[in-house]
C-alpha cells in the first residue's frame, strides 16, 4: 500500500512539473515547478535515487532564487518604463494586431487607434508588457480605450506603476481616469484606487509631487 502511495506522489510531482511548463505567467510557472520539484525531491530521497535528488534539489533552489527576485521587483519603480507614442504609430498597430483577440475581449468598446489621443507602451527592459490607449472626454478626464497587459506579466504590477507611480497622467494634465463601459471587473478587485461610478470605474489622479 505504501509503495502505491509513493508512486502516486511521484506522478503528482511529475504532473506539476509538466503543468508548469504550459503556463504563460512566469510566477505561476515558477510556483508550480517549485512544488513539483520539491515533491520529486522527497520522492527520490525516500527511494534513494541520488542523481534525481541532486537534480530536483538544484531545480528547487533555482526556482526559489528566481521567485524571490521576481517578488522583490514587483513594486520597484525601476522595473517599468512608459514610452509615449502617437496612437497611429506602427508599434501601436503592431501590438494591437498581435494581441487583438484579448484586447477586443477586455476592451469591447475599442474600435480603432485613431479615436485615441493618448497612447503609450509599458516596457520592462527591452520587453513590451502593456499597452494603454485613451482619449480626453472632458478637461482633465481621460477615458481608457485600451488597458492591456500581456499574459506573461499579469502576475506582476505594471498597472500599479502606470496608474499610481509613472507620473505620465500628471504630465498630460489628467486629473481623473475613467474606464470605458463594458470593461473587465478587474478594476473592482484591484488595489489601484478605482471606484465604481455610473456603470464604470474612476480613479482620481494624485497631484504631481515636487
Closest CA to 141 of 179, 195, 106, 109: 179
Are 97 and 112 in contact by the 8 Å Cβ rule? The answer is no
Q: Is residue 210 part of a domain?
A: no
- Indicate whether 210 pLDDT > 60: no
Are 128 and 152 in contact by the 8 Å Cβ rule? The answer is no
The verdict on 18 and 32 lying in the same domain is yes
Report how far residue 102's alpha carbon sits from residue 117's, in angstroms, rounded to the nearest whole number. 22
Which of 19, 38, 73 is the endpoint of a domain?
Answer: 73
The verdict on 121 and 145 lying in the same domain is yes
> What are the tens digits of pLDDT across the range 46-84?
989 999 999 999 999 999 998 888 777 665 566 789 999
Report how far residue 134's alpha carbon sits from residue 178's, in angstroms, rounded to the nearest whole number. 9
> What does the pLDDT read at residue 103?
94
Q: Is residue 209 part of a domain?
A: no
> What are the tens digits of pLDDT across the range 78-115?
678 999 999 999 999 999 999 999 999 999 999 999 99
The number of domains in the chain is 2
The verdict on 100 and 195 lying in the same domain is yes
Domain that holds residue 135: 77-204
Which pTM does this prediction carry? 0.74
169-193 per-residue burial string, b: 16 or more CB within 10 A, e: under 16 = beebebebbbbbeebeebbeebebb
Report how far residue 32's alpha carbon sits from residue 104's, in angstroms, rounded to the nearest whole number. 30
The verdict on 53 and 152 lying in the same domain is no
Give, as one character, the DSSP assignment of residue 30. Answer: H
The verdict on 186 and 107 lying in the same domain is yes
The verdict on 58 and 99 lying in the same domain is no
> What are the tens digits of pLDDT across the range 113-156?
999 999 999 998 889 999 999 999 988 999 999 999 998 888 77
Q: Is residue 127 part of a domain?
A: yes
List the beta strands (DSSP E) in 88-126: 118-124
The verdict on 140 and 67 lying in the same domain is no
> What does the pLDDT read at residue 209?
63
The verdict on 192 and 140 lying in the same domain is yes
Q: Is residue 194 part of a domain?
A: yes
> What are the tens digits of pLDDT across the range 153-205?
887 778 888 998 889 999 999 999 999 887 777 777 777 889 888 889 999 99
Amino acid at each position: 500500500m505504501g509503495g502505491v502511495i509513493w508512486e502516486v506522489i511521484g506522478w503528482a510531482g511529475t504532473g506539476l512539473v509538466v503543468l508548469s511548463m504550459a503556463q504563460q505567467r512566469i510566477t505561476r510557472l515558477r510556483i508550480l515547478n517549485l512544488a513539483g520539484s520539491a515533491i520529486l525531491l522527497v520522492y527520490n530521497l525516500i527511494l534513494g535515487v541520488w542523481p534525481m535528488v541532486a537534480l530536483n534539489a538544484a531545480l528547487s533552489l533555482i526556482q526559489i532564487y528566481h521567485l524571490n527576485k521576481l517578488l522583490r521587483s514587483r513594486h520597484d519603480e525601476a522595473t517599468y518604463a512608459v514610452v509615449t507614442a502617437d496612437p497611429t504609430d506602427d508599434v501601436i498597430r503592431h501590438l494591437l494586431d498581435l494581441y487583438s483577440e484579448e484586447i477586443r475581449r477586455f476592451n469591447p468598446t475599442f474600435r480603432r487607434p485613431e479615436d485615441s489621443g493618448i497612447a503609450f507602451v509599458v516596457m520592462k527592459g527591452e520587453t513590451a508588457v502593456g499597452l494603454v490607449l485613451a482619449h480626453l472626454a472632458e478637461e482633465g478626464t481621460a477615458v481608457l480605450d485600451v488597458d492591456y497587459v500581456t499574459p506573461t506579466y499579469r502576475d506582476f504590477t505594471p498597472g500599479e506603476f502606470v496608474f499610481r507611480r509613472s507620473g505620465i497622467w500628471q504630465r498630460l494634465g489628467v486629473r481623473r481616469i475613467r474606464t470605458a463601459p463594458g470593461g473587465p471587473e478587474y478594476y473592482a478587485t484591484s488595489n489601484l484606487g478605482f471606484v465604481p461610478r455610473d456603470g464604470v470605474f474612476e480613479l482620481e489622479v494624485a497631484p504631481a509631487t515636487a
